[in-house]
Chains A and B, each alone.
Chain A
Amino acid sequence: MKKDEHTDVTELSDLQLDALKEVANIGAGNAATAFSQILDQKIDMSVPEVNILHLNEVPDLLGGAESLIAGILVEVAGDAPGKILFALEKEDAERLSSILLNESLDLESEDSNIEIQNSSLKEIGNILTNSYLNTLSQMTGLSLLPSVPGLALDMAGAILEVAFLQQGHIGDYALIVETNFLDTGDEGIKGHFFFIPTPESLTKILAQLGVGRI
């Protein structure tokens, strides 16, 4: 394989997309288990969706480019670099944080609790990412090393464009592997989990899954 060989996401076959969906399903399933253990309540997970979107459409993935979200971004290093983004709408992030800390919170307040809230959200991102990557590692034999998570509370468009930037280096389309988590409590918390391999990593992952060349 040439060093810069990459997979054009618009040319992925159904078999390849299904393989990615299957990995996402198992990975997110394990992440959901970890998630519900921390929250001590049942967490439901959607069937993962794998979509190919034009880059133009990426900033609008989460309720419009200007909507306020919490984004927890993890850089993945190792054999197949990429990024993982866990994003929650503002209210969901606040609810999640209050469950974790057992108190009510306002993310826009500037008080001293903000650091604690932020670390609780980062920690959730950490745990979800690690369970997802462990699964992917086991299924592909690739070594995947997550960074310390970064957190931003900002416009969805600004967060999404940073997360998907590397895919934009190569083509005009982005591969979106998304799973939604939903807790089954009264109010409900919805979280969006995105797995974002670089185009080169995608080639490697597909090859290791046995669907490299169709």
Chain B
Amino acid sequence: MNKIRVKMADLNVGQNDDVLITSGLGSCVGVAIYDSKAQIGGLAHVMLPEVPSNRENNNPAKYADTAMELLLKKIKNKGASSRKLVAKIAGGAQMFSFDNSSSKMKIGARNIEAVKRILKEKQIRLLAEDVGKDYGRTMEFYVEDGRVLIKTVKGKDQVL
């Protein structure tokens, strides 16, 4: 078994008994996409919903739109079939609540929305999710069967 770490604003792919792990998702969203028959999958830790129009983008893994595009390309290159792809997502929490919270603060909700919209556009079925609320999550994605283990600080571990 090979444990592969995915850092913030990063993504990685694995196969067979690889486990892709991303720790401490707050407002960021972890997106696992895989083809369970081929046992090929990838995990992205996206930070922001989309590339700002007025900036050049030198880290595609940071934004939901470009990260998912790149993730799909990488898992297809490894031999996954685009028709068999499914997804599981976690994160997008609102870690702090402020009395005067502006819409800008609700970045977690915007990240979730963006990820779901892109999955729909790409016709990738969303099998399970653990999103929103106000706590951090760690995601362990077992590529061989698509199982995703969600760990939090207080609650019990959960399997998606």
Contacts and interface: CB of A to CB of B under 8 A. Distances in A.
Interface residues of A, number: 34
A172 B62 contact: yes
Contact of A158 (B26, B54, B58): B26
Contacts of B100: 147-148
A162 B106 CA distance: 10
A154 B137 CA distance: 9
Contact of A55 (B8, B27, B95, B135): B8
Contacts of B52: 169
Given A108-B154, A155-B24, A66 B138 contact: yes
Interface in A29-50: none
A84 interface: no
Given A56-B7, A56-B10, A165-B47, A157 B27 contact: no
A129 B76 CA distance: 49
Contact of B7 (A59, A108, A148, A169): A59
A159 B8 CA distance: 12
B9 interface: yes
Contacts of A150: 95-98
Interface of A: 4, 55-59, 64-66, 68, 71, 73, 75, 108, 147-148, 150-162, 165, 168-170, 172
Given A56-B7, A154-B26, 10 more contacts: A66-B151, A108-B154, A147-B100, A148-B99, A150-B96, A155-B26, A157-B25, A161-B8, A161-B26, A172-B9
